[in-house]
Amino acid sequence: MRIRCLVALLSCLVAGVALEPSARADGVVPASTELPQMLSLDEALRVFRTRGLDLLMAEAAVKGAEGQVKTAGAIPNPVGSAGWGKTINYDPGNCDQCSTTYWALGLSDSAAIEDSLSGKRGLRLKVARNALAAAKMSRADAERTIAFQVKSGYLQVAASVLAYKFAKEVDDANVKTLKLFETRFRSGAINEGDLARIETQKLEADQALDQAAQALRQARVALAFLIGVRGAASDFDVDTKVLDYAQPQALATSTELSLLRAAFEHRPDLVAAGYQKAAAEAQISLARRQRFPDITVGVNYSQLGTGGTSVGGAVSPPTVVFGVTAPLPVFYQQQGEVRQAEAQYDTTALSQAKATAQVVNDVSTGYSAYSTARQLVQRMETGLLKSARTARDITRLQYEKGAASLTDYLDAQRTYIATNVEYFQDLASYWTAVFQLEQAAGTDLH
């Protein structure tokens, strides 16, 4: 019986431990989000800024840094003490009003006065405030980087939609072509080999359609995850016009050098690195200041016994004592803390230098990707798409008149399909490069 009770008690405890984190999590994790059937890019960014889990975690880090500022600036509470006792081996004699009771009261400032006058509290606040500013910049940097991922994900969905629609058109066209060739085969106009090749083309179109559907679904799920959707992602639609080619005015007048200057002025990760370096520098000063001992000021009142001064009177009169206490820094003078603070400063200084080099790399890489993607799209729209379509149409007419082989026609058809699929990806790559430059420069270019 006792064993059963013990097992039941342990089960309740385990259940309580397992349920408690979930109960706490329900108050932190945002509720599930229902996306509209037509999701615009602006709406996706709005949902991300309110529901994005990575952004919410960055905001939680800011709240933690705000709490550290409160902690760093807190003034130590005074400490009170009280004591009561009875004397031993003391006989008050015939004094009815005499007492053998001891009692005492004390009050200490917990080194609050020294903490402020020595500058320790001010240095702690300096460290914490710089850390808070760095956390806020890190939150802004998280929004910068993840917003780029949201934009890139949205472009991939749009490109996947276009690719799926095109694959569906090709598949429908191949169904009609196959029926036409089956009729021609029954009439003896073509041989069985030609029919088999057309059937192969139709099956390849089916394969491409299934792959396009899979890619579209994966792109939707990835975008929903980025903007903070919990649960199953719906088959929402996106505005494919975001892929229409246009050169942003800001980029038309920008150079790689001007974008680099903008990055040095606006990149929040660079600003955060500066605040982190300032916090590390203040931490060195604080560690050195901690060598000054914490001096505690206190006052104590005590009284042992009550009564007159005659025989059998008070054991000792009331006493007030003012005092100070302080540790003597004889054996240790904060050498370890100072060394750690200096190492942290070196680390943040190197991180700042690395962030600066990363900015240069991001802008240079982004500008190169933008220039190349723009050329690819322009080449597609000014000649390549038209040439592939014209070659396919002419080769089809030639094949129908017997001036070209079926192989020539199928090759032209494959080239036409591959060119269009490549065009959709080139458009997505172009706008991704534009948004990547925005991320690298830390400013809006579109």
pLDDT at position 379 over 50 = yes
**Which residue in the block uniquely carries the two structure tokens 């606040």?**
125
3-state secondary structure at position 318: strand
Write down the pLDDT at residue 303: 83
Q: b vs e for 408-431, b when ≥16 Cβ sit within 10 Å of the residue's Cβ? A: ebbebbebbbebbbbbbbbbbbbb
pLDDT band at 400 (very low <50, low <70, confident <90, very high): confident
pLDDT band at 15 (very low <50, low <70, confident <90, very high): very low
Query: What is the C-alpha separation between 158 and 143, in angstroms, rounded?
Result: 22
Q: Which of 73, 74, 76, 136 is nearest to 110 (CA)?
A: 76
**Which residue in the block uniquely carries the two structure tokens 């001064």?**
309
The stretches of 192-334 forming alpha helices (DSSP H) are 192-226, 249-252, 256-266, 268-289
The three-state (H, E, C) secondary structure of 164-178, written as one string: HHHHHHHHHHHHHHH
pLDDT at position 196 over 60 = yes
Q: Are strands 38-39 and 237-238 parallel, antiparallel or unpaired?
A: parallel
Query: What is the C-alpha separation between 338 and 387, in angstroms, rounded?
Result: 71
3-state secondary structure at position 103: strand
Task: State both tokens at 141.
Answer: 């940097």
Task: State both tokens at 169.
Answer: 């058109």
Q: How far is CA 317 from CA 101, 267, 285, 441, in A?
A: 12, 71, 48, 78
Write down the pLDDT at residue 7: 39
**Residue ranges of domains in the chain, CATH in brackets:** 76-117+295-332 (no CATH), 121-291+335-446 (1.20.1600.10)
Query: What is the C-alpha separation between 127 and 134, in angstroms, rounded?
Result: 11
Q: Which of 167, 75, 421, 128 is nearest to 275 (CA)?
A: 128
Write down the pLDDT at residue 235: 87
Residues 278, 344: contact at Cβ < 8 Å?
A: no
Residue type at 113?
A: I
Distance of CA 93 to the CA centre of its chain: 80
Query: What is the C-alpha separation between 190 and 186, in angstroms, rounded?
Result: 8
20-29, 83-92, 393-402: which range is least confident on average? Answer: 20-29
Distance of CA 131 to the CA centre of its chain: 17
End-to-end CA distance of the chain: 74
Long-range contacts of 388-397 (CB under 8 A, 24+ apart): 388/412, 388/415, 388/416, 388/419, 388/420, 389/416, 391/415, 391/416, 392/416
Give the length of the chain: 446
Residues 61, 142: contact at Cβ < 8 Å?
A: no
Q: How far is CA 355 from CA 54, 130, 283, 440, in A?
A: 21, 18, 21, 12
Query: What is the C-alpha separation between 386 and 25, in angstroms, rounded?
Result: 56
Average pLDDT, integer, range 25-52: 79
Write down the pLDDT at residue 427: 94
Write down the pLDDT at residue 6: 41
139-143, 189-193, 285-289, 292-296: which range is least confident on average? Answer: 189-193
3-state secondary structure at position 309: coil
Largest CA distance in the chain: 143
Query: What is the C-alpha separation between 307 and 228, in angstroms, rounded?
Result: 77
**Crossing angle for the helix pair 406-441 and 385-400, nearest 10 degrees?**
170
pLDDT at position 21 over 50 = no
Q: What is the pTM of this model?
A: 0.79
pLDDT at position 396 over 70 = yes
Task: State both tokens at 223.
Answer: 């975008």
Write down the pLDDT at residue 95: 67
- In whole numbers, what is the pLDDT of the chain averaged over residues? 87
Write down the pLDDT at residue 24: 45
Which position has the higher pLDDT, 98 or 364? 364
